[in-house]
Amino acid sequence: MIELTSVSKYYSSGFLCRKRAYVVNDVSLAIRKGETLGLAGESGSGKSTLARMMIRLVEPSAGRIVFDGIDLLALKKPALRQLRPRMQIVFQDPDTSLDPRLTIGASVAEPLVVWQKAGRHERDDRVIELFGMVGLQPELADRRPFELSGGQKQRAALARAIALEPEFLVLDEPTAALDLSVQAQILSLVQVLQKRMNLTLLFISHDLQLIGRMSDSMAVLHEGRLVESGKTDAILRRPSDPYTIRLLEAARESEEWFGKDK
């Protein structure tokens, strides 16, 4: 479905922009249709930058990205725009996905309006359907984001993201701002939607337990470089890179600290 070859991103600085700070460095990976790739790594390792390059919200400095057979980086603006509905993103902070001035209903309807999907009445029906799909009561449609809980907002962000029936969905730490029980509900919802819509997912988290639960294969970023990638089960059972081992140990320690069956 999506394939990256030697993708890098650097920001230039200094005299004549001669200094290059690599944020993502020579990353190659692939996600198969309908599967989930878990992307792990500590804060600042380049996860969000890599994810945004995969849907060309951030322009890569080098490398090649192929989306469903299409050379993503060769596309000019109009062709890229045509592709937009097929790839969507849900951010860590739902307030990034939702306009504070719009009602939740209007936010979820917005992609349908922009892409002129359906007439007014059909659109209203579709919004109600989308609310149902993400488990939001239709009464909430008239509220604004500040009148919802974090979990409800993230459900609304999901509804908006799936409104145009994307094939590829990026979830950038979608539950990092939520408490554990709400986190579990949202993640189950994501799995249900994935099955129902045959979604290909990039699931970003610094939490290896969540990566283990959500993903078929996984990749670990460290200072912008891919230090490990492969089947999730195999990596979590027997990590080969010292950095992954450290991350796993840290996860186990925090488990012991906070109790195991949370």
Ligand X SMILES: Nc1ncnc2c1ncn2[C@@H]1O[C@H](COP(=O)(O)OP(=O)(O)OP(=O)(O)O)[C@@H](O)[C@H]1O
Count the neighbouring beta carbons within 10 Å of the beta carbon of residue 103: 18
Which of 29, 38, 46, 232 is the binder for ligand X (CB under 6 A)? 46
Query: Residues in contact with ligand X, total (CB under 6 A)?
Result: 11
Q: Cβ closer to ligand X: 44 or 138? A: 44
CB of 250 to ligand X, least distance (A): 14
Residues 27, 51: Cα–Cα separation, whole Å: 11
Kindly state whether residue 45 participates in binding ligand X, applying the rule CB under 6 A.
yes
- 157-216 residues near ligand X, rule: CB under 6 A: 206
Buried b (16+ CB within 10 A) or exposed e, 4-32: beebbbbeeeeeeeeeeeebbbebebebe
Q: Tally the C-alpha atoms within 13 A of residue 112's C-alpha that lie toward its C-beta.
A: 24
The listed partner (ligand X, Mg ion, none) that binds 222, CB under 5 to 8 Å by sort, is none
Residues 170 and 89 sit within 8 Å (Cβ to Cβ): yes
Of 38-46, 81-89, 149-157, 183-191, which segment contacts ligand X by CB under 6 A? Answer: 38-46
Per-residue contact flags (x/-) with Mg ion for residues 43 to 72, judged by CB under 5 A: -----x------------------------
Residues 254, 251: Cα–Cα separation, whole Å: 5
Of 41-49, 184-192, 195-203, 250-258, which segment contacts ligand X by CB under 6 A? Answer: 41-49
Inter-axis angle of helices 150-162 and 104-114, nearest 10? 10
Which of 6, 19, 20, 44 is the binder for ligand X (CB under 6 A)? 44
In the complex, the residues that contact Mg ion under the rule CB under 5 A are 48
